[in-house]
Structure 1
Amino acid sequence: MTTVLTGARKLAGVSLVALAVAVSSTPARANDPVAPSASTPTAGPTVSGRVYDATGAALPGARIVVEGTGAEATTNLQGEFAVAAPSADGDIALRIDYLGRDVLPYTVTAAERGRPAIITLPAAGAPGDIVVTGQSLLDNTARALNQMRQADNTVTILSSDAIGRFPDPNIAEALQRVAGVGIERDQGEGRYINVRGAPSEFSAVSVDGIQIPSVDPTTRAVDLDTLPSDIVGNIEVTKSLLPYQDADSISGAVNITTRSAFDRKGFALTGMGGMSYNQFGKGNDYRASGSISDRFGGDRQFGILLSGSYSKTDRQPDNVENTWAQTAAGLRVTETLFKDYRTRRTRVAGSGAFEWHPTDRTQLWVRGTYARFKDNEFRDRIGILWSEGTLAAGSTDTAATYTNTRVEKQIRHRAQVNEIWTATAGIEQRLGDGTVRLDGAYSESSQTYPRRDELLFRSTLRPTLSYDFGTSSDLPVYSLFTGNPHLQTGTYAFRENAYRSNTTKNDELTAALRIDLPVTTGSGTITFSSGGKYRERNILADEERFRDRRATAAPTRTLAGFLSDEESRNFDYALGNRIDGSLADAYFDATKAASERRLPQSLTADYTANEKVLGIFGMGKAELGRLTLIAGLRVETTDFRGTAPSVSRTGAITTALAKSGYTEFFPNLTVRQAFTPNLIGRFALSRAINRPNFPQIAPRVLETTEGNTVRAEFGNPDLQPTLSNNIDAGLEYYIRPLGLIAVNGFYKDLTDYRYTLTSTGTYLGVAGAILSRPVNAPEGKLYGVEVNWQQQLSFLPGALGGFGVFANYTYTQGDARFDDAFVGRRDFVLPGQSKHMWNASLFYERGPVNVRVAYTKRSDYLDEINADNATLDLYWEGRGQLDATASLQVLRGINLFFEGKNLTNSAGVRYFGQRTRVYEYEKFGYTLFGGVRVKL
């Protein structure tokens, strides 16, 4: 830690010295930008205004340049700007530079200098122009590229309408299109993100600048499948932090901006509705969303917005899982599970905002968001317990025969409900040349399981069964489906019922203050900023477990009495008939209250946690001609307290307590060099942190059982936060009329990187249990490069000018090193890190027609490390997916669209050590979706 602190102090010193030298030695040049963006105050007299397109939509990221002086500003999300004006009276000549449009000259007359200028960029309409209709995808691409061009640091922007042109129903899936972002899926749908090869919890997620807590009690990573993409105004992925930003995003921070009434001049209405067919499930999915907003008052200074979203999806993915373990004969399968899912997922979300802009110097707002995700799942499961039998002679690493095996059949009904809501209020006030901003927010997330009920039957037969992975490691040959002993329903007897009740509540209170003060010097303008943020988070995780194997718990029905007429099939494996869900629910409801509570399993997974983070920052932003230099320091103090019940072997219950506190320094030096208005170089030295997941440092144990496999996950109160010293550098060229070629590289020097190590041992008397515990690796590194190219090929002749490309590629590499070797291993690759990730899309847009074909792919990545045996490290196989979209503008503001998702029906695969030892093989099918969009 001493070395890290020394490095931080050196970086802080370098940052401050660089700022001082640049300010004192760099002369201002005529016609160079000398003023900050709209969000930053300007010294002296100013001219302000708003920039819109011909439809009345605000244009963010536009460069506003004052002729003669070269003073420059950038419009914010509402198209607002304030730029330093000449002191002399008279007209002011401006240039409005916006990618996708010709540079527009605009004159603010002497009479207009005292009030905001309303500037409208004319719509392009000639052949080959970018904007054809008010809903052009290219126009939405322009919004994103203009913001990225003008940003001080390295960011990637996704605009709402551009998101809507991909078949991406939630935020995670929308982010997979961003360079350097891979997603982790659940039943085919994106849930978590990996930015630049880092674990998902290394990226904080915020809504309107306020962090949202995770719904999952086991991680800080936010379940982004809870948040639909329909209510989004903008998504910003920050890959190099600035001092005013929270430091807890080592790989990249994601900020989701909701819509605002001030995004348009006046009334606005958008809507979407449609239905789909999915290959696996044969059911229809429904999605609908809408947003309405308006501005009112004498000067339209009030704005109100309401938006909502609803979706329902039915899925029946096919799934087979094989657990491998080390035996005396070598690595062999000890358990096989065939899982037949019937899943319905519904999402409901909404947002609202009330804003008041009484003058161009004062803004007040109140915003709120709500999202609810429900996963209602019935699962039939056939299990082969190879470990209950005896391994016959002659087995190999791909084929084996067991005598006296066990066969089980289980029905599970699980209903999971995630909820996230946020409420924010704030004021931004310009006082003289400075600006003061005050924010307050409360966010809350919860995860509950209204049902987590299981009924298990076990066959009295003890058949001799075999498996053979030699023909296919994905879908092996099982002799179970030759003799079909699993179809002899009369041989099944009641084994047990099991019930779980989980409740997790995670809330956070935030208060933030920021002050900006510009100072004009002989070399340019320096804006001094300072402020702080206080965050307090409380977590409550409560779990109850019940299980009953008594004869009195047995149902009055036999297994045959629970079966429906519906066939249960997994791939080509015939599993018999499905259990009737309504009959199973009736049994669950009748027996749940009498089931036996399990100790310590009902207690040791529980925990509470309280975390307080106070961050204070100071920074200077010097704009010196075409050079922007930012240097600053952020300091964050963290206080943590966690408790968990502890059950001794004698049954005595006590409360375990864990406490920790630390202060970390985060120096920052960021350089932006505009070689030309469209050729931008960036460089940054920064430092960031990732605090341990709450259950990792809470003094608790989480035990789960799947078939005969028992897992125990232990907390580690001595676990340290991961720190990273970062170097980022990039060069971006923005192509006119609309495009980008960019190369960005990064290097992260990691200290106390966290791993979850898995081993085999005894837990509560159960031998062969899988034991997991988080530990720190003293050192590690993560580095890579991103290449991005997107362009409309308007230089092609005639109709070919409607073609365009969107492509990016990311290479990442990394590892961590332990002090103590584990079974001869000291260096480990990083979990969640794919060496290769890429996106490629070909689109065509001309007149009312828009067509896009997109393919995304990431290579294999590590999921879990096994401390006992490297051949049992668990990996996710890399997965590619082909998607397609098309739309036709039928009337102004109305278009018909079609989407095809996962057209290749790509599988999700996990394997142990090498691809031939498949742990999980799952397919989800393709989805076809069609509907109508309205934008007025």
Structure 2
Amino acid sequence: MKFHLLAGASLASLAAVTAALPAHAYEASALAASVAVAGEVVHGRVTNAAGDALPGAEVIVRATGQRAVTNTQGEFDLVLPTGTAVLDVRYIGQPSATQTVSVVQGGTEVSIMLGAGEAATVSDVIVTGVITDGVARSLNQQKNADGTVNVLSADAIGRYPDPNVAESLQRVQGIAIQRDQGEGRYINVRGAPSAFTAVSVDGVQVPAVDPGTRAVDLDTLPSDIVANVEVSKTLLPSQEADSIAGAVNIKTRSPFDKRRLAVSGYAGGSYNDYGGSDTRAAATASNVFANETFGALLSVSYSETNRRPDNVENAWVKEEQNGAEIFVLEESLFKDYETKRTRQAVTGALEWRPTDDFRAYLRGSFAQFEDDEYRNTLGLIYSDGKLQPGATDTTATYTGARITRQIRHRTQKNDITTLVAGGEKTFGNGGVWDASLSWAKSEQSYPNRNELLYRSSATTLSYNTADHYMPSYSVFSDPTGFYRDPTKFTFRENTFRENTTSQEDVAFKTNFELPSQFAGRDVTWKFGAKFNSREINADEQRYRNRASSASPGTLASVLSDRESRNYDYDLGFKFDADLADAYFASARAASPIREPDSITADYTAREDILAGYAQARFDLGATNVIVGVRVENTKFDGDAAKVVDGAVSPTSVSRDDTEFFPNLTVRHSFSDNLIGRFALTRSISRPEFDQIVPRRIEETDGSNISYEIGNPDLQPTLSNNIDAGLEYYFNSLGVVSANAFYKDLTDYRYVLKYTEPFGADGEADFETPVNAPDGHLAGLELNLQQKFDFLPGLLSGFGVFANYTWTDAEIKTDRLYAGRDTFSLPGQSDSNYNAALFYEMAGFSARLSYTKRGDYLDEINADDADLDLYVEGREQLDFTTSYDFGNGVELFGEAKNLTDSAGVRYYGSRERTYEYEKFGYNIFVGVRFKL
């Protein structure tokens, strides 16, 4: 029913738009079927005075109002009758230009240069700085896009201390990030879960590396490889529908960006407040050959980060005391990390443009993220003991509790590879045909996930969490030094896990675009189809050995003389990493028995999507209307295994689903500077692969049993979307905008955690994905960017960025959980904002930037609302500065996380802190060069 209502609304809105047209547009002679536009193709390129391409420039035919917008290489195409035509070119940050073109048979080529002379007025401001040039590129592309789009250029990204794409995107209005050890990993667009946003590189959709989500780990992709990042918050029929929140397309560089020999790069190093260092370097080289008909580009990037964050985790439960329930800890874990993270990436491009109307290309990218981590953990296991009378919500004493000492060596590798070959042909009537064949592969592997655990004899433990960030624990004030005495500990177990999950995607897509006229108006028809096939393979090995023969010896024999500290907590001595690794190698060679639950973790799957679309773009003078529909058929097959009484048997699931996605997108220019937008769209988010295969994974940790259960009946989430916005662009390089959105969600999926009786007189923890029938996500984005060019003298170098996003969201379940059937949307913060003050003058630039997001729900607990898991809002202050010597050499410096902000998670209330982690500030200095 919702689909039909949306389709009806689209048609009704289109009828309203066409009804407002002048009456002469509907003369009887003009009501014939659409015909191709008669004329010749004019191929043009718009550059600045330095010869750099200007993307997003608006080219208007003065006599007819016909309009084109330049692409990322500054190129545009128009179909005009032979004769003389006058073209007006507008670009925020450059003086407008007019050029007369003689259109001849066989096609015409034209070059238009902006800013060759001096600016005469404020409205003719010429962009000269790196910051302002990046702002201008972004604003022009956003202004002239058909839908609601945000663009980050490479120059803008380079002015922030952001090592990966996720951290770069946090600067965009409506986007917040989820972090791992202080670094951005996933993005939340407009308060939606990270899986609601699809990511592509050069138009090739990237499979996720993490098997538990469709969201792409954007910390795998370094920001160095980027030419620009385009975030489409409203989709067109020509775009894949699987982006409820928005689609991110990361565009790498092209040799035709410069059309000459161009070499650039940077290198530098840093100091981290919490220990370790950061080294980064990148270089790009490109050139064009054979009379600018062939181009080649190669880009490389490398970074190494050594971090030692401090981390304490406290797990909370409810216990009955004197007839009342109180909150108590069941364990506290003090984690001492030593982590080395490396990122390396290579991108390349070969492009052939023998004529203006034909081009072919081959582009590829490879990015690898490796996290090599040693973690020493001191664990206070209260649940092994007995809670004593007198406990409160902040204090408790346990007798018979235990302490654990553990070392874990974990190596994680993420690989993302894309390769695409394609071509584009422009015909004499202005029609354009393009096609591409692409291959993408993502792989996540854990070659090392080794753990060695020692456990103490029984002891008495107390705590006080009145200071919920830095509680006090009796173990550290014990005069006997119980936890520091290795003789109190005995070998408990070793565990080994290794797993590899790969996703391989092959896709073919083609589009045909044909300009025509209907009722005296320009209409562009566009049709296309895409088929992609994705194969997923997950293989996991788990081993555990508690036999005394598996022990490496006493705890003292594997400890080093290096102290282990976490905040102000003295954790004793670290494990000797070399001795631990030697033990792991020996113990694994002994070939322990594989755990049955690791067999049930394995699965294979295949997803085939066949899509087609048709859309029409009506150029109605100041108004542009796009109306169309997309159809996607999804076929899914998955296989897993189940273990019953030690016997392994296969299980499988097959699904076939077809969805329609109608679309109405309207862009109206109230003036040259004031743009209004409106869109009615429909989109989808398909379930994670591991959630719909019929798996039932059992994990046992002592007396605790937990199950992760797949749901083959899990439905995709569908969303009907309404978007509306106003944008006013200042001639002096700025914009003020407001965009409102509402998303009506059907079958929102979430992971439900609950506890049920299990066995004779025990219980077990369960988690399974389920659908919520209804939900919504609504919000408002406010954005301001302004360069103060109108101020006198040195003050004209100042500028400001500021944006604020407010969202409201909830889901409604089909049954009550702990008396509730309405929940906040996991991953959604009520507020998110950024502010930055920048200055740029005579080669010097500086920017002070601040970002903050509010608290958000992370996990829903079906049994108790007080144990829902939240992530506490976080703020961060960064500073960057640089000086350009004018000879292609630039010195720069970055200061990140000057507020030393922590990452915090809590249960139900901030007083029940689950995780408190700090990363420290980072100071980076380096040099850039450009030839």
Amino acid at match of 2:274: F
User: Distance between the aligned counterparts of 1:109 and 1:765, measured in 2?
Assistant: 90
Partner of 2:658, secondary structure, is strand
Cα deviation code 1:371-393 (max 9, x no counterpart): 00000000000001100000000
Partner of 2:815, secondary structure, is strand
Using the TM superposition, give the Cα deviation of residue 89 of structure 1 relative to its aligned residue in structure 2, in angstroms. 2.1
Number of the residue aligned with 2:335? 339
User: Distance between the aligned counterparts of 1:377 and 1:124, measured in 2?
Assistant: 57
Using the TM superposition, give the Cα deviation of residue 16 of structure 1 relative to its aligned residue in structure 2, in angstroms. 6.4
TM-score (norm 1): 0.95
Partner of 1:383, secondary structure, is strand
Number of the residue aligned with 1:326? 318
Q: Which shifted more, 569-578 or 710-719?
A: 710-719
Using the TM superposition, give the Cα deviation of residue 65 of structure 1 relative to its aligned residue in structure 2, in angstroms. 1.8
Q: Which shifted more, 430-439 or 150-159?
A: 430-439
User: Distance between the aligned counterparts of 2:761 and 2:529, measured in 1?
Assistant: 50
Q: 1:164 to 1:125 in 2, by over 3 A?
A: farther
User: Distance between the aligned counterparts of 2:116 and 2:158, measured in 1?
Assistant: 22
Number of the residue aligned with 2:550? 553
1:311 pairs with one of 303, 308, 312:
303
1:579 pairs with one of 575, 581, 591:
575
User: Distance between the aligned counterparts of 2:763 and 2:10, measured in 1?
Assistant: 50
Using the TM superposition, give the Cα deviation of residue 608 of structure 1 relative to its aligned residue in structure 2, in angstroms. 1.0
User: Distance between the aligned counterparts of 1:168 and 1:409, measured in 2?
Assistant: 36
Number of the residue aligned with 1:841? 836
Number of the residue aligned with 2:274? 280
Q: 1:863 to 1:707 in 2, by over 3 A?
A: farther
Number of the residue aligned with 1:535? 532
Number of the residue aligned with 2:651? 656
Using the TM superposition, give the Cα deviation of residue 818 of structure 1 relative to its aligned residue in structure 2, in angstroms. 1.3
Number of the residue aligned with 2:602? 606
User: Distance between the aligned counterparts of 1:794 and 1:466, measured in 2?
Assistant: 62
Using the TM superposition, give the Cα deviation of residue 136 of structure 1 relative to its aligned residue in structure 2, in angstroms. 1.5
Q: Are the counterparts in 1 of residues 605 and 639 from structure 2 also a CA contact under 8 Å?
A: yes
User: Distance between the aligned counterparts of 2:178 and 2:703, measured in 1?
Assistant: 27
Q: Would you say 1:302 and 2:300 are equivalent positions?
A: no
Amino acid at match of 1:924: F
User: Distance between the aligned counterparts of 2:189 and 2:589, measured in 1?
Assistant: 45
Q: Are the counterparts in 1 of residues 40 and 82 from structure 2 also a CA contact under 8 Å?
A: no
Amino acid at match of 1:519: S
Cα deviation code 1:729-767 (max 9, x no counterpart): 000011112001000000000000111111123678995
Q: 1:594 to 1:88 in 2, by over 3 A?
A: closer
Amino acid at match of 1:47: V
Q: 1:143 to 1:702 in 2, by over 3 A?
A: farther
Using the TM superposition, give the Cα deviation of residue 563 of structure 1 relative to its aligned residue in structure 2, in angstroms. 1.6
Cα deviation code 1:464-488 (max 9, x no counterpart): 1111011x10110000101131101
1:10 pairs with one of 8, 11, 30:
8
User: Distance between the aligned counterparts of 2:394 and 2:61, measured in 1?
Assistant: 73
2:53 pairs with one of 47, 51, 58:
58
Q: 1:892 to 1:25 in 2, by over 3 A?
A: farther
The 5 A counterparts of 1:313-392 are 313-329=305-321, 330-392=326-388
Number of the residue aligned with 2:812? 817
Q: Would you say 1:404 and 2:400 are equivalent positions?
A: yes
Cα deviation code 1:655-699 (max 9, x no counterpart): 111111111110000110011122110000000000011111111
Q: 1:764 to 1:136 in 2, by over 3 A?
A: farther
User: Distance between the aligned counterparts of 1:932 and 1:608, measured in 2?
Assistant: 47
Q: Would you say 1:802 and 2:797 are equivalent positions?
A: yes
Amino acid at match of 2:415: E
1:746 pairs with one of 741, 761, 774:
741
User: Distance between the aligned counterparts of 2:889 and 2:88, measured in 1?
Assistant: 33
1:291 pairs with one of 281, 284, 289:
284
Q: 1:515 to 1:449 in 2, by over 3 A?
A: same
The 5 A counterparts of 1:693-772 are 693-703=688-698, 711-761=706-756, 767=762, 769-772=764-767
Q: Are the counterparts in 1 of residues 414 and 442 from structure 2 also a CA contact under 8 Å?
A: yes
Cα deviation code 1:9-59 (max 9, x no counterpart): 43464466567657895849xxxxxxxxxxxx9763232211122333211
User: Distance between the aligned counterparts of 1:504 and 1:314, measured in 2?
Assistant: 26
Number of the residue aligned with 2:29? none
Partner of 1:153, secondary structure, is coil
Number of the residue aligned with 1:673? 668
Q: Would you say 1:98 and 2:91 are equivalent positions?
A: yes
Q: Would you say 1:122 and 2:115 are equivalent positions?
A: yes
Number of the residue aligned with 1:33? none
Q: Which shifted more, 366-375 or 815-824?
A: 815-824
User: Distance between the aligned counterparts of 1:710 and 1:904, measured in 2?
Assistant: 41
Cα deviation code 1:515-537 (max 9, x no counterpart): 11111234320111111111111
Cα deviation code 1:803-857 (max 9, x no counterpart): 0000000000010111211121011110000000000000001111101000000
Q: 1:806 to 1:235 in 2, by over 3 A?
A: same
Q: Are the counterparts in 1 of residues 83 and 102 from structure 2 also a CA contact under 8 Å?
A: no
Q: Are the counterparts in 1 of residues 208 and 215 from structure 2 also a CA contact under 8 Å?
A: yes
Cα deviation code 1:307-364 (max 9, x no counterpart): 0100000000000001111222332110110000000000010100001111111111
Q: 1:83 to 1:473 in 2, by over 3 A?
A: same
Amino acid at match of 1:235: V
Q: 1:4 to 1:765 in 2, by over 3 A?
A: farther
Amino acid at match of 1:387: S
Q: 1:894 to 1:769 in 2, by over 3 A?
A: farther
Cα deviation code 1:401-429 (max 9, x no counterpart): 10111100000000000000000011111
Number of the residue aligned with 1:934? 929
Amino acid at match of 1:10: G
Using the TM superposition, give the Cα deviation of residue 769 of structure 1 relative to its aligned residue in structure 2, in angstroms. 4.1
2:439 pairs with one of 426, 439, 442:
442
Q: Are the counterparts in 2 of residues 93 and 108 from structure 1 also a CA contact under 8 Å?
A: yes
User: Distance between the aligned counterparts of 1:109 and 1:431, measured in 2?
Assistant: 19
Amino acid at match of 1:78: Q
Q: 1:704 to 1:375 in 2, by over 3 A?
A: farther
Partner of 2:83, secondary structure, is coil
| Residue correspondences, number | 914
Cα deviation code 1:888-920 (max 9, x no counterpart): 012332210000111111000000000000000
User: Distance between the aligned counterparts of 1:497 and 1:201, measured in 2?
Assistant: 34
Number of the residue aligned with 2:30? none
Q: Would you say 1:526 and 2:523 are equivalent positions?
A: yes
User: Distance between the aligned counterparts of 1:210 and 1:655, measured in 2?
Assistant: 34
Q: 1:881 to 1:278 in 2, by over 3 A?
A: same
User: Distance between the aligned counterparts of 2:23 and 2:295, measured in 1?
Assistant: 46
Q: Which shifted more, 65-74 or 885-894?
A: 65-74
User: Distance between the aligned counterparts of 1:166 and 1:124, measured in 2?
Assistant: 31
User: Distance between the aligned counterparts of 2:157 and 2:126, measured in 1?
Assistant: 17
Q: Which shifted more, 907-916 or 115-124?
A: 115-124
Cα deviation code 1:488-537 (max 9, x no counterpart): 11221111110001010101111101111111234320111111111111
Using the TM superposition, give the Cα deviation of residue 707 of structure 1 relative to its aligned residue in structure 2, in angstroms. 8.6
Amino acid at match of 2:583: Y
Cα deviation code 1:118-139 (max 9, x no counterpart): 2222368779886565x61101
Q: Are the counterparts in 2 of residues 548 and 595 from structure 1 also a CA contact under 8 Å?
A: no
The 5 A counterparts of 1:3-82 are 3-11=1-9, 13-14=11-12, 17=15, 27=25, 44-82=39-77
Q: Would you say 1:421 and 2:414 are equivalent positions?
A: no
Amino acid at match of 1:417: K
Cα deviation code 1:260-283 (max 9, x no counterpart): 0111131211101100001112x2
User: Distance between the aligned counterparts of 2:607 and 2:592, measured in 1?
Assistant: 35
User: Distance between the aligned counterparts of 1:43 and 1:673, measured in 2?
Assistant: 26
Q: 1:633 to 1:744 in 2, by over 3 A?
A: same
